[in-house]
Structure 1
Amino acid sequence: MTVLVRYFASARAAAGVEEEKLKLPEGSTVADAVRLVRELHPGPLPRILDAASFLLNEVAVRNQDRALSDGAQLDVLPPFAGG
């Protein structure tokens, strides 16, 4: 299956891309996608992922064990400063 990962703010800078498509096996979870992103971008991005929030199809992910579906969209949102 294919999942579109979109990166925002410092995650985008660390990944070096705005978005990318990941090929994952059927039955993969958000945690599996995050693990693959860590492997693809071993520089500063893994540290950002430790503090990031995720949206799956525009809904906040509370549990990274949530299953992905083909064509899903996963957004990586690093912590934002400001008020």
Structure 2
Amino acid sequence: MGQVTVRYFAGARAAAGVHEEKVQLPADSTVQDALAALERRHGDELARVLRAASFLVDGVAVRDRSAALPDGIGLDVLPPFAGG
């Protein structure tokens, strides 16, 4: 079992209702596993945001949702931002 610290920004924070939370995941979990757990926890509003969001794993952009999440790592959820 491992723990991931999830930080939400902008619209993701509004959808989750929290700025940061800890998520317990089985060993060898991936970004997708974490996202599935977050969708179960927070429901459809966050699920919509997660489908369009970008992610940072310990500050590094990750596009591959099958990327591993080692115990104690941070996962930042960045929704699409408007502006130019």
- Asked if these proteins are the same fold (TM beyond 0.5), I'd say yes
The percentage of counterpart residues that share the same residue type is: 60
Q: Gapped runs of 5+ residues in structure 1?
A: none
Q: Once the 2 structures are TM-superposed, how far is the Cα of residue 43 of structure 1 from its aligned partner? A: 3.7
Partner of 1:57: 58
CA distance in 2, matches of 1:25, 1:57: 19
Residue type of the alignment partner of 2:83: G
Alignment of 1:36-51 (within 5 A): 36-51=37-52
Q: Determine if the alignment matches structure 1 residue 9 to structure 2 residue 15.
A: no
Question: Where does residue 80 of structure 1 map in the other structure?
Answer: 81
SS of the counterpart of 1:44? helix
Which consecutive segments of 4 or more residues in structure 1 shift more than 4 A? none
The one-letter code sitting in structure 2 at the alignment partner of 1:49 is: L
Partners of 1:64 and 1:57 in 2: CA distance:
14
Could you tell me which runs of 5 or more consecutive residues in structure 2 were left unpaired when the two chains were aligned.
Answer: none
Distance in 1 separating the partners of 2:77 and 2:18 = 12
The Cα RMSD (Å) is 0.6
Q: Name the aligned partner's letter for residue 48 of structure 1.
A: V
Aligned counterparts of 2:65 and 2:44: Cα–Cα separation in 1 = 22
Deviation at 1:33, TM superposition (A): 0.2
Aligned to 1:26: 27
TM-score normalised per structure 2? 0.96
